[in-house]
A and B are shown apart, each in its own frame.
Chain A
Amino acid sequence: MTMLDMKPADTPAAARLVDLFELGLDAPICLTWELTYACNLSCSHCLSSSGRRDPRELSTEECKAVIDELQRMQVFYVNIGGGEPTVRSDFWEIVDYATAHDVGVKFSTNGVKITPEIAQRLAKSSYVDVQISLDGATAEVNDAVRGPGSYATAIRAMQNLSDAGYRGFKISVVCTRQNLSQLDEFKAIADRYGAQLRLTRLRPSGRGADVWDDLHPLPEQQRGLYDWLVAHGEGVLTGDSFFHLSAYGNALPGLNLCGAGRVVCLIDPIGDVYACPFAIHENFLAGNVRSPGGFREVWQHSDLFLELRNPQTGGACTKCQFFDSCRGGCMAAKFFTGLPLDGPDPECVRGFGEDALRDRSGDALPKPDGDHSHLTSPPRPRTNKPVPITLTMRRPDRAPVSACAEDPLSGFHTA
């Protein structure tokens, strides 16, 4: 699961929640809604391969119809993302419509539109939560992944929110090999701006598949992360994304269950409904909100979601003594690294994932559906092959302006 920051109440003993939720709910608790694939950045690990807007994206009126449906189904809140959702010209209209219809909003942004005026406005609404993405506690580490200037943009947004009196906004960090040594610095940044730290897992989804081998945490770093999370308890949010680490010992706070299609899902910019935001692939496409019956029909009756609500009974992991705590890990992480879905997570703490990665067949890895990457974005590693370029020597005997066959000053003579 990826999106729930929750706190179960200590209510009279009944069945464990994880067992109840494994069978699915009539409506999601919350869902992720990517409003647009357009983005001003080109982060190398973008899980939705964002950059360019898809011309088929839902119109303002279609978005409002989705919100009406979510209100009827009593979906408590939506995690709005993208792309960079705030670049949609109707973004604030959609946010206001949702909160006026009892659907809370958390939105993720790189901070580009969080001006002092917008920050003032956000500080006034308790129904809107803001998550600023930051993937390095220093500009050097952050900008290597998110692009030049992105650290400064995020810090400026945090300063604006803090100055406006907004308390408790989230700083959302995707944990990587490069930034896991900075956890204390991230916490210090959050404390400085009156924010709460949220750490989530790097997934090999979207462009993340291209950089996963270089960015995903090493085994000893995973152990350090687990210990750090245990030490900080509920003060640090994780969106329940590290449940695969629970096999180290005590379960981390949260449900510790893959909620895909059971308690959460994804609506993408063109209305396609996927099991989770990290699984944008036709194998995990359940339907579209534009089809008859809308979102409710997809959630309640799609073949895919009904199948996902069957508890896992087979596979190598069910025989592991830690299966009850890690539940086999993340479906999307397995899928995009070419591992079987009923086998170990690629980052299995017992090392079975590394074994499986070594033993996997040489078939091409599944590719995410749709690449919306900027066509002119800075170079990023799409393959491991070197990029051929042609080197030429400047001709010292000619003027540096090669387009002019003739000196443009010819014919002019000083008096």
Chain B
Amino acid sequence: MPDLDLDSPWTLHPQVSVRPEPFGALLYHFGTRRLSFLKDVTLLTVVRGLAQAPTARAACLAAGVSDSELPTFERALGTLARSSMLIERPPAAAEAPPSKERNA
């Protein structure tokens, strides 16, 4: 069972701050006090698009991820989900307020 279901809606945890960097981004979770890295600019686009996308798969496609790359991104998103950087969004709450992302 993967850590993240690509066909569910996901979003950044509200306590996660995203800082874009030339190589991708730094993510800091104020609740768990964990730091993570996105070593890929496309992954940053995916992560930022999650809140507005109906599913994680849709966010990947919108960011230009190809079918062959999809398993890699599923794994990367799964890692973020496992460390609570990403949380599953209830389908009914699709209009949830944007995450606490600064410098957006």
Contact = CB atoms under 8 A, between A and B. Distances in A.
A129 interface: yes
Contacts of B42: 12
- Secondary structure type dominating chain A contacts: loop
Nearest to B39: A14
B33 A9 contact: no
Contact of B17 (A7, A25, A76, A126): A76
**Which size class do B's interface residues fall under?**
20 to 34
Interface string A62-105: 00000000000010110000000000000000000000001010
Contacts of A102: 17, 102
A124 B23 CA distance: 36
Contacts of B80: 9
A11 B67 CA distance: 17
Contacts of B73: 12
Contacts of A26: 21
A102 B72 CA distance: 32
A15 B36 contact: no
A415 interface: no
Given A74-B19, A76-B28, A12 B76 contact: yes
Interface in B2-37: 15, 17, 19, 21, 23-24, 26-28, 30-31, 33-37
B72 to A, nearest CB: 5
A7 B34 contact: yes
Contact of B36 (A8, A25, A77): A8
Contact of B24 (A6, A7, A11, A74): A11
Interface residues of A, number: 27
Q: Which 4 A-B pairs have the closest CB atoms?
A: A76-B28, A14-B39, A9-B36, A6-B35
Given A5-B35, A11-B76, A15-B39, 8 more contacts: A7-B35, A9-B85, A11-B24, A11-B38, A29-B35, A126-B31, A127-B30, A129-B33
Interface of B: 15, 17, 19, 21, 23-24, 26-28, 30-31, 33-40, 42-43, 69, 72-73, 75-76, 79-80, 83, 85, 102-103
16 contacts: A7-B83, A8-B36, A9-B36, A9-B76, A9-B85, A10-B75, A12-B43, A13-B39, A14-B39, A27-B19, A74-B19, A74-B102, A76-B28, A102-B17, A126-B30, A127-B30
